[in-house]
Structure 1
Amino acid sequence: MILNSRLKEICFIITILIGIIIDIDCRLAEPTEEPLNQIITTETLAPSITTTTKPQRVVQECFHQPPSICAQLFNSNTNEHCTKYSSKAVICCNVNTYSLATDLQQAGVGPTDEVESLHIINATLDVLNVTHKSWKRLKSMSITDGSIGKVVGTFPKMTSISCLNVSSNGIVEIQNRSFVNLINLTTLDLSNNQLDSIPKFYTTAVNLSIDVSDNKPLQCLSLHKAMVDTKKELIFQNQNRTHCVSKLKSFHWFNSTEHMPFSQIELSAELALTCPKIGNKSCTCRPYRLVLIQDETPKTAIGVDCSNLNLTSLPTPLPPYTYMLNVSHNKIESLSMLSDDPSYQEIRELDADYNEITSISILEGTKFIDNFAVLSLKANKLKTLPTYFLSNTFDRNYAIPRLISLGSNNLICDCNTFKTVKIWLTLKQKNIPDYDEIWCENLPLKVYELSQSKVCQHPRDWTDYIYYIIATEVLLLVGLICKVSYDYWIFKTAGYLPWPASKMPKLPCDCLCET
């Protein structure tokens, strides 16, 4: 009984093993689309294709094989340069300008064929003309590890290519409109060439993954333009190996005109997109300085220049962490944004020269007046100066003095101006460098030239003589006391009263003085 059960178990196990072996044989016998997929590893894929840092966005990988595969697929004695890698993929090696079209045709790469993936390795082409209709049905196209002078022409309309890799070819130029018809393009690898500019893409391309690393002649202006034109929808791969050549005229805020890191150009593009725009005019935004605060991450402070734009109010919103704002030579009347707008909270330097500002009282109690470093209000329409809250700001202990420029403003000068503003300007000369350039509107004088005799005069009335009246009354009282004392002394010594006391009529109270 036990023996029979054991035999049944053994038969059951053998049956399972035979089924597994048959299943494996069937799988090995089945034709696959890419029979050599086991060769592809992370190391053999194109080095520029990586996963983007943006969430929910996986970068498509172009069909790509290592150069060593050419020795496996082609005999050195044969004239064949292209072969089918699978039913829908073709690999070509060592093609040149003269054999390319023929080799592709023989391998079945054409507008009516079913090939969707193509990889050309070690091509030697003076010019690659992408107008050829052979590319039209391709979805993945790689031409790598070769020598190509330049890319000309434009891919035919409705070309299906979604992944294009032309890396490591030493390409010097790609015509600006070569890729504009690639409406499905999601991955573009231009790395390790000699390009100085980035070509245009399809106008509605969204989240295009692009690699332009290791192109030493690449101009920062072209990289910056590509970011701004696509509103930063481009996803740049290998950013740590992406640099560009900066020209002083275009990127004058950098310390060097040599190779600039990608991060600096990305910041510049971000500023260009967030910089205030007024009608058809735009302010200029640029990195201004690096702000170091203890126990905080260093911040790149932004400078915004909105001068000469005919503004009637302060621009809004400003880019994050705007440190300096220049709105000079406009028609601005109020500084209310400094107290109301959150994007103005980080401003430390404000240049509002040559505007129509009439008062700065609105700045009292604002974060700006507590933290500013420079405030320039030259040539405005200020009539008074609120010295009380400005003094509080100046009197605090700061390592660097706060500076206010107020020259070419015409104040209404009176006696109070002399007693407060003039003295205040004299005491705060280190904070107000142009204190001697502030004028009086109602007098042909500068404020610091005011004198009491010129501004502290007013029409006379009887109260102006009160001191004289009091003095006269005091003198009369003293004289009267002296006269009475003299008359009393004469009366006591001589026995009579001198004139006029002797001529005075006798009063009822005189009896009190008789002895």
Structure 2
Amino acid sequence: MLDLNVNITNMSKRSLFLIVFIFYIYVTIIQCNELPLCYNQPAESCPLQNKCKCVKTGDSALFCCQVQSNEDLIKNFECSGAKLSTITALHIYNMTADNFNFGKFSPELSRLISFSITNSYINRLLGRLEYMHQITCLNLSNNAFGTEWQDPLALENLKMLAMLDFSNVNISSLPTIKSQVPMFWLDVSNNVKIHCASLLDLMERSRNAKYKLYFKKYNETFCMSSLSFHWFNSTEKVALNQVEIINKLYEDCPLNCSCKWHGIEMVQETKTLHTVEVDCSNKQLSSLPENIWLLTNHIHIPDYNEILCSNMQYKVKVIDLDQKLVCIKKADWTHYMYYVIAAELSVLLLLIGKVSYDYWVFKTAGYLPWPASKMPKLPCDWIFE
């Protein structure tokens, strides 16, 4: 009977383990591959003007319309009758305020998973989301922000953030993202001011954090690149696929060198040309890096044969660089010892030759040459007499 109970217990443990394993696979593989969706409500769901501006749309969802400040929002939280500690989804619609301070959000909203502010005008974005560690979806689309982020680290505590929507807004740079999810989705489509440098910075962070970065509405995503040439400055709208090429150039930057992207040149009916500066100076290099460029990647560089070095005496093509001209090894003091030894050997051979010549003259003529005869006698001269 005891053995039967033990077997049943072992089977229960194995079954429990199998269920947990299947659930883990579902969460990590299936759910992580799905695009996270934010909680959003249509304008028709806004409460009447003469009543509370916030209304519960479910057991754990709250919808607020036309609030005018942080204080006004908190007041309407209270009149809605919602218990903030149970709210997991919040949508703020058509807010008009001088500023919105993330830091003034109530700690009671710590269970918030989806947070949306849409179709609003907010002049300044202040503070940090301190208590919203569980937020997986943040929607800030269709807004007019008066200024940039006052605190670029406003979202740094959102380690579980998997979806960030900045579509149809007018900001030029993204706040710092420190998400730790395996897959991160970003929507910056129809954003007329976002700088390419901000997207490149996010791409670099995703490489270091080892999470995959995906763009929603890929073909509708562009960024702005400031180009500086000799006689004019211009701003160009760059497609996302070109930004990914730039990111690839950074990934392929030679080891121990620094790469700086300057801009692009887009001419009709020709390939897009990227201007990249590769700086390997003052790196104590004894040889040129293998991937400094150019025959290997000349397919991607239409004018590779026209890239010249400006700091040489004569204009030299980078592709024809001689390592002896650009890689100079630092002199080592031990190198001079060879010259000292050679000089000592030369003096020794000269002395041997002089002594041999004097001995030959003495044997044949019976006297020493003038320099040798004028030298004072030494105690050992009797050996030769």
Q: TM-score, normalised by structure 1?
A: 0.46
Match of 1:129 in 2: 101
Q: Helix, strand or coil for the counterpart of 1:247?
A: strand
Match of 1:105 in 2: 78
Match of 1:243 in 2: 222
Which deviates more, 139-148 or 259-268?
259-268
Give the alignment partner of residue 216 of structure 1, picking from 169, 192, 199: 192
Match of 1:268 in 2: 246
Q: Is the 8 A contact 2:259 2:276 kept in 1?
A: no
Q: For this pair of structures, how many residues does the alignment match?
A: 280
Give, in angstroms, the shift of residue 208 of structure 1: 1.6
| Amino acid of the structure 1 residue aligned with 2:164 | L
Match of 2:297 in 1: 322
- Structure 1 pair 350–125 and aligned structure 2 pair: CA distance change class (3 A): closer
Match of 1:84 in 2: 56
User: Percent identity over the alignment?
Assistant: 28
- Structure 1 pair 120–316 and aligned structure 2 pair: CA distance change class (3 A): same
Match of 1:186 in 2: 162
Match of 1:162 in 2: 136
Q: Which has the larger radius of gyration?
A: 1
Structure with bigger helix share is 2
Q: Distance in 1 between matches of 2:48 and 2:311?
A: 79
Give, in angstroms, the shift of residue 312 of structure 1: 1.4
Unaligned runs of 5+ in 2: 1-30, 327-385
Q: Is the 8 A contact 1:162 1:186 kept in 2?
A: yes
Give, in angstroms, the shift of residue 301 of structure 1: 8.3
Give the alignment partner of residue 259 of structure 1, picking from 215, 237, 245: 237
Q: Distance in 2 between matches of 1:138 and 1:374?
A: 57
Give, in angstroms, the shift of residue 187 of structure 1: 0.5
1:228-250 deviation digits (Å, cap 9, x = unpaired): 2322843222233322222225x
Q: Distance in 2 between matches of 1:155 and 1:117?
A: 15
| Amino acid of the structure 2 residue aligned with 1:275 | C
- Structure 1 pair 230–108 and aligned structure 2 pair: CA distance change class (3 A): farther
Give the alignment partner of residue 119 of structure 1, picking from 91, 113, 129: 91
- Structure 1 pair 67–319 and aligned structure 2 pair: CA distance change class (3 A): farther
Q: Helix, strand or coil for the counterpart of 2:43?
A: coil
Give the alignment partner of residue 171 of structure 1, picking from 142, 145, 156: 145
More relative contact order, 1 or 2 (CA 8 Å, 6+ apart): 2
Q: TM-score, normalised by structure 2?
A: 0.60
Give, in angstroms, the shift of residue 374 of structure 1: 5.7
Match of 1:446 in 2: none
Give, in angstroms, the shift of residue 266 of structure 1: 2.1
Q: Distance in 2 between matches of 1:289 and 1:215?
A: 22
1:458-501 deviation digits (Å, cap 9, x = unpaired): xxxxxxxxxxxxxxxxxxxxxxxxxxxxxxxxxxxxxxxxxxxx
Q: Is the 8 A contact 2:227 2:263 kept in 1?
A: no
Q: Is the 8 A contact 1:119 1:143 kept in 2?
A: yes
Q: Where in structure 2 are the equivalents of 1:343-422 lying within 5 Å? A: 375-377=320-322, 380=325
Q: What RMSD over aligned residues (CA atoms) do the two structures have, in Å?
A: 4.2
Give, in angstroms, the shift of residue 104 of structure 1: 1.6
Q: Is the 8 A contact 2:56 2:82 kept in 1?
A: no
Give the alignment partner of residue 286 of structure 2, picking from 312, 323, 337: 312
Unaligned runs of 5+ in 1: 1-54, 291-297, 325-346, 356-371, 382-515
